[in-house]
Structure formats: structure tokens, C-alpha cells
Chains A and B, each alone.
Chain A
Amino acid sequence: MAESALADGERRTLLRQHAVSRLLSPLWVPIFTAVMRWGLRWRVENIDVVREEFARLRAESDAPLLICANHLTMYDSFAIEWALAGPRYYLRDFAALAWNTPEKANFASTWWKRVIAYLLKCVPVERGSDRKAVAQVLEKIRFLVARGETALIFPEGGRSRTGRVEVDSAAYGVGRLVSSLPGCRVLCVYLRGDQQETWSKSPVRGETFRVSLECLEPKTDARGLRGSLDLSRQIVTKLVEMEKVWFDDRQ
């Protein structure tokens, strides 16, 4: 993806969104955290260990960091961001709070959803739409991650309809993003609630999540499309391995 793919106006729009989101973050970050913690009574097992690991990864390098996770519910990104760091950390290191690419139909269909998505560092995408529009969203994410921001992408493209991560579902766009960001680190996150048997709209109230993290620097000798697809599959394959460990541990 070439640098020129994003017009100056679009860059300014993203930077403005970042500034507004950051300005209001002392308000919305604690509110969303409180909703998850006390409203929905979600819990993350060993949350201190997970947060320590994420903070260590953030501190050890300035290289671009892309978070790639499994995807089972519409609210996975909320749970993942909460698992990775607390409100005080995010208010100190706002770039650690990941940008998201939620489905337009779910998170940007009304004006109030659009306001929330705007504040929550979202760049909505219309899945299955014109390829150029999807590529433009990826280019925005590339621009942000190259500037030191973090982004969260679901490399399967959508919620796993089988309830399990599938290598064949790997969307090559993630690999394309990684290959366009020199030195990019990929933080693979496997998050699943104990009661999450398959995909659903939302985790249940009172859910306990178990989370694992593994950092990758995917490399490939292949060029072009094959290279991008190879990188995507390396990431999804890692998630499959992490899923196996998750289920083995549960037994």
C-alpha cells in the first residue's frame, strides 16, 4: 500500500478523530470499563499477568504493533482491550488503546452508534462491499499503526461461524497490512469466555474470560498476493495453536 493512497484530508480526519477521542477519554474510558466490570460482571482470569505482558510488549519496542485476535462475539474488541490494560494505563498511553474496524451495519447504523464508534477509535468497514472501500479502511489502519498507534484486527474477517478458528478463513488483507509495515509485530490474542461454546452476539453476563497472548513477527519469502496470504495464514495458524491450548487447559 503506497503512502499516497490516503489523501491529506483523510489523514487530517483521522488525526482529528484521535484528538477528540483522546480529549474525551477521561470520560468514556472509565465508563466503558465500569460497564464491563460492574454492569456486565465480566471477569478476566489472571488479568494482572495479561496486562503486565501487554505493558512489557508496549515498552520493549517502538516497532508497529498490530493486535490480531479470534472472533466469536460482536463485543470481543471491548473485552480484549479491557483485558490488555486498565483505564489508568490507557489514559497514560492512549496509543495503546487499539483502533478497530467494526462492521458498519452493527456499529455505525445510527447517529448515536456513529458517535460512540468515533470516540472509541473505530474506522467502520462495510464487509463484502466494494474492494476499494475495504482497501481504503486498511490503508487508514496502516497509516495509524505506522504512526505508533495500535490496531485490533480480526484476521478471520468475521465471527467464526463454527466457533473455532479456521485457517481457511484467513483474510489476506491482514497479511497485506503486515507486509506494508516494516518490522511490524503481531500480538496474537486468544480470548474466550468459559461459557462461550460457539459464536454469538454477545458474551453472557457474568462471563469469565481466559486470555492468552503471543507475539509474532511474521516473515515470508513469497511476494505479492501469495506473500500477503502466507503472512495472514501464519497469524491464523498461531491462533489455532492458541485455541488448542485454551481447550486443553479447560480439560
Chain B
Amino acid sequence: METWLQRIFLVLCLAPVWAGAQQVTPDIERTIINEDVLDSENWLLGVRAGVLSIEDFGSSALGALQLSYQINEDFYLSAEYAFAKAGRTSFEELSGAAPLLTDEQRKWQYYGAHVGYMLLPGEVFLTRDFALNSGLALFAGGGNVDFAGDKVFALHLGSQFRLYATDWLAVELTFSDYIFETTILARSKTTHNLSLSLGLALYF
């Protein structure tokens, strides 16, 4: 009788220990890698040359430098510096009068920033079996135009077509409009200065 009772108690006492022994949790720490260990290439440096039509002053050669930071796959931020030299107005050509501006005042400079949106990413097929990645981006921004001895705020709107020759090198075709007010010809007016330029950009 007594041993029978002792056995019951023994079983009751050991049951929780036995049940506990069944639940073995693996004590392994999983190591976590931060994605920052990978080299990031979010900056893009571009150089381009083209033509700028300065309203009333004809078309002239344009050079530009652009530094961009890719925020995500859709948006980017750019700082830009562009320069050109204005030609002569039709009035100066025809009247034979003294030039309106000095040589120094004919220098056109722009510096500013813009936000771009990659509207149409995709591929361009150069031959039947060979495709390159491409993208058409729209951008809007503003900055300063230094022209004719005056500094004015300019709106800068445009689009940029980018063709990726390799993963880090792109060919860019940029079409943009620099909109600003001028007071050179007596009355203040808003001018549209269109530019078209071709350049190279690299990721780093």
C-alpha cells in the first residue's frame, strides 16, 4: 500500500520535470548583417554640352555640371551649374548702334537645385537582341541666373532621357527651360530660355 502511494507521488513530482525536458529551445543566436556593409552608389555626376537659346540674344553654346543624389528609385535631387555666353540681339546687328551689354555682362550663369522624378523607366532595343536600360525623368527646381549684370531667380523645368551604357555610366539627353524675368530691354518681362544638351553621367 505504502509503496503504491509512494509511486504515485514520485510520478506526480517527476511529471513536470519530464514535461519540461521535452521543450528544448535551441539556444542559437542568429547573426544579423546590416545592409550598410554593401557599397552604396547613390551619387551621380554628369557633364553635358549643348545649345541654349537666350531670349532676344540668339542661341549659344551651353556647358553644364550636374551632381545628383538618388533618394530612391523614383526621386532624385540635383545641384546644377550651367554657363553660356549670349550673342547679339537683332537690334544690335541691324542698327549698328553701341552694344547693349559689355562682354562681361554677356556671360550667362545659372546655379540651382531641382527635384527629379523617374517617370518612364524601361529598356531601349538597339538591335533585335540587344537592349540597354533607359529612363525618362521630369524635373522641376529653381536657382539663380546671373546675366546682364543682374541676378534673378529662375525656374528650371525640363526632362532628361538617360540611357545606361553600363551599370555606372549613362548617356543623358536633357531638354529644359530656364524661366526668369529680365529688365534689359527697358520693360520687365518673363523670358523662356530653352536648352538642349547631351552629356555623360557616372555613378559613384
Check if A and B associate: no
Residues of chain A having any CB pair with chain B under 8 Å: none
